Chain A
Amino acid sequence: MYKAFITEDEYPARLRVKKLLSAYSDEIELVGESDNGKGAIEQIEQLRPDVLFLDIHLPDMTGFEMLAKLTYQPLVIFTTAYEAYAIKAFETYSIDYLVKPFDAQRFKKAIEKLRKFGQQKKTIDYKKLEALLVEKTKKTVSTSLPIKMKDRILLVEYTDICFLKAEDKYVQIFTESGKSYLSDQSLGHFEKSLPDLFIRVHRSYIINRTFIGEIRKYFKGKLILIMKDKGGTSITTGSTYSAGVRRLLGV
């Protein structure tokens, strides 16, 4: 007899799992349910179920984080709303995964797997699984730069940003239209988080290479870059950066 516990964010989904499980009441006993990670951990530690029906996306943490916090390792059948998560690794590292909506046939297969592999007691590396998951789902590339200034964050689209200039304690971000924003983050921070379109050309300047209007040669191998913003700002490359910039721009 397996003791099962449902950790599922949404009420209808919980209801569904419960309904489907009821068909296997002779081998699986439902001992509890929760709609959040914290509550689930508390109950699981107490009730010690053998198998978990676990939603990957819980409101306060991921399913993996929750598992990492448990003192023991139960068997897990993951549930998820996204097909993208259905990677091979799930089959290796867990009993099974179920994609919503759960239909009876698929659920049946999962229970069969449970019967078959339940006794094997494989040690599951959830961290690795989580890492693979994160890998696969990192498709949404951000199109805007978050600019933090005191208590607020503004999002400015990368395609609007012409260049960034480091001032005394702030960095000023200039857009094509001439509008500028101040941020209290450092230029180094932006250098790391900005996409490849942005080049650090000077100790105090990062530019968006799509806004380079003209390139002029200057002394000592430096370049003068005239930007396509409203004011036609010209930026001279710094001595340490000039060689790299020239290589990147093919000058």
Chain B
Amino acid sequence: MFVFAGLHIFYFYTSKVSIQEYETAEIYQSSGITAPNWSNPIAGDIFIVIDSSASINYYKIASGSNFENLNVLPGKFTFQSEDGKNIYDDMWTYEFVNSDLLYADTLQRYTLDEFNTLKKNAQLTHGFRFHPPKKPWDIHPFFFFPYQLIIHSVISFFVIWLFGYLSAYLPGITSLSKKLIWITLTTILIFTLIEFAERLSGLADLRFPAYTKFLIITLGLVVGLKYIKNRWLYKLKFFDQEAAKFVFILITSLTLSIFATLIQVSLGISTFPEPQNVYNFNFIGKLIYEIGPLSLVFCIAIATGNFLNNFRMHFFNLRKEAKALKAAQKNELKFQSEIESLQAKINPHFLYNSLNSIASLAQEDPTKTEEMALALSNFYKDTTNRQDQHTVSVEDEMNLLQTYLKIEKIRFGDRLEVLFDCDESIKTQEIPRFLLQPLVENAIKYGYNADENKTFVKIVANKLEDKLVFRIIDHGPKFPDDLGTGYGLRSVQKKLKLFYPEKHQLAFINNPEKQVYIEIDV
């Protein structure tokens, strides 16, 4: 947007277009030697200009272009005054007037009365009446029309806003192809809107093809930048990278501008309405003119814009990284404390029940009392000795479960039957501590089979492809549909989530065999 505004102002002050004071200029066919060709004014035709002071001056057409559809298109040609100076280097509209014909053999000056007499005497017939541009800024419509300036700025702002708004809803325009598509669409949109605005204001101009060169340059730059970044720049430090990119953009965009303009001029398309001399220029002259300040400004704007934007992104990323680091540190602390709290909460009921049992057995069954007390001691020895260890090997966990089950067996006697099936290959694999114990505890609690009058629990651990699989099977009543999370299940869930986020599965299966199924992707 600022680039547009800048360009407008730049051209407004640097261009050398004079403001016309003439109301009309009329062109009439010149020499009477050949029949006048009214459809095609050509170089050499003389016209009369009647100015506001009512003086009549003859001017000869010095150069011109062919006209078709005379009443529709604006003509483009220059007028040469008596002293050979070129004037009227701007776009004039004209209309075909079926008025009187004037033949003039030589350049002559007539007064207004003489002219009117000639006209009255039907000595002036067909001609062209030329109307100079109505307002000063009509001369360079693209740059001098303040309304256009406003329109361009508003449109640019709107498009940029639209772009930003839409890209927030696209999940990240990161790939190169997506970037290119976006730039193309945006540029076409901008240029179309400019065209539209211009046509609305009554000045149609075929500049669209010329604008495409800017589009091509931009696309070329994006691709080129990506290429050099990946091949050469990644080795450089940040500032060097940016400086290199700046220079690259400048050089490349200028080169591309020249190249694109070559093609453009060869095709006869011009970006601007012709100034005085342009059709007297030779090819090189036209080329330089067309490349012009606009391209230079464009290239510098892109280079600078890219540079500044990358700076902004760089510092933004630095801040983001710092934030992420802080968050990661925080998470680590959180993780540690959560683990510790989970570890500490081995089901207190277990200890309570075990101590009750010991108290109950003490007098009646001293052997069992001793067994239970020792087993409990072993169980808690493992717990307390490895406070800062968050994981244990599968083998150690199985041993712990054996100790735990020894205690439970004393409580429930022959009614409890437990089997272990652990693969040799995974015995050394590390898993969170006490991951399985709550599940085994639940199996004992809810795994009673009335028909068999037994609580049968089987613990299976093996490897399935790359995953660790644990299954705690019992023969009790099936899991209900409204399975809730008692303490035990919650700790298992939490541990799996902490240690293996998104890489685990915990399922409660009823058929074919009732089991708790854990799958861990290691």
Contacts and interface: CB of A to CB of B under 8 A. Distances in A.
Given A146-B483, A154-B508, A177-B502, A12 B493 contact: no
Contact of B360 (A9, A12, A179): A12
The 9 closest A-B pairs by CB, nearest first: A59-B448, A16-B360, A12-B357, A142-B484, A12-B360, A153-B508, A101-B356, A146-B483, A60-B450
A154 B352 contact: no
B388 interface: no
A151 interface: yes
User: Taking each of A16, A59, A177, which has the highest tally of chain B beta carbons within 10 Å of its own beta carbon?
Assistant: A59
B410 A151 contact: no
A81 B507 contact: no
Interface in A120-154: 140, 142-144, 146, 148, 151-154
6 contacts: A10-B357, A15-B360, A36-B448, A81-B352, A148-B481, A155-B508
Interface string A33-57: 0011011000000000000000000
B492 to A, nearest CB: 9
B359 interface: yes
A101 B450 contact: no
Given A13-B360, A36-B453, A140 B415 contact: no
Contacts of B453: 36, 38-39
Interface residues on B, range: 35 or more
Interface string A187-209: 00000010000000000000000
Contact of B484 (A9, A13, A59, A140): A140
Nearest to A231: B171
B517 interface: yes
A91 interface: no
Given A19-B363, A100-B356, A151-B510, A11 B412 contact: yes
A59 B486 CA distance: 18
A101 B169 CA distance: 64
A50 B448 CA distance: 28
A69 B323 CA distance: 65
Nearest to A60: B450
Given A146-B482, A152-B509, A10 B365 contact: no
A155 B410 contact: no
A101 B359 contact: yes
B481 A153 contact: yes
A154 B506 contact: yes
A27 interface: no
Contacts of A19: 360, 363-364
A12 B356 contact: yes
Nearest to B481: A148
Nearest to B505: A154
B490 interface: yes
B84 interface: no
Contact of B489 (A15, A18, A155): A155
B506 A155 contact: yes
B483 A153 contact: yes
B235 interface: no
A233 to B, nearest CB: 12
Nearest to A158: B485
Interface string A1-21: 000000001111101101100
Interface string A90-102: 0000000000111
Contacts of A112: none
Contacts of A60: 448, 450
B57 interface: no
Contact of A11 (B169, B410, B479, B502): B410
A167 interface: no
Contacts of B356: 12-13, 81, 100-101
Contacts of A148: 481
B353 A81 contact: yes
Contacts of A179: 502
A81 B411 CA distance: 13
Contacts of A35: 412-413, 415
Contact of B411 (A11, A152, A155): A11
Given A146-B483, A152-B517, 5 more contacts: A18-B364, A59-B415, A60-B450, A155-B483, A185-B481
B485 A142 contact: yes
B365 A15 contact: yes
A11 B360 CA distance: 9
A110 B363 CA distance: 21
A12 B510 contact: no
B302 interface: no
Contacts of A15: 360-361, 364-365
B309 to A, nearest CB: 25
Interface in B152-173: 169, 171
Contacts of A142: 484-485
Interface string B406-447: 000011110100000000000000000000000000000000
A144 B483 CA distance: 9
A52 B370 CA distance: 30
Contacts of B219: none
Interface in B475-522: 479, 481-487, 489-490, 493, 497, 502, 505-512, 517
B349 interface: yes
Given A12-B360, A151-B510, A146 B481 contact: yes
Nearest to A13: B360
Nearest to B368: A12
Contacts of A157: 493, 497
Nearest to B365: A15
Contacts of B169: 232
B137 to A, nearest CB: 43
Contacts of A177: 502
Nearest to B171: A231
Contacts of B510: 151-153
A143 B506 CA distance: 15
A13 B357 contact: yes
A115 B505 CA distance: 57
B70 interface: no
Nearest to A82: B349
Given A151-B511, A153-B479, A143 B413 contact: no
B355 interface: yes
Contacts of B502: 177, 179
A101 B349 contact: no
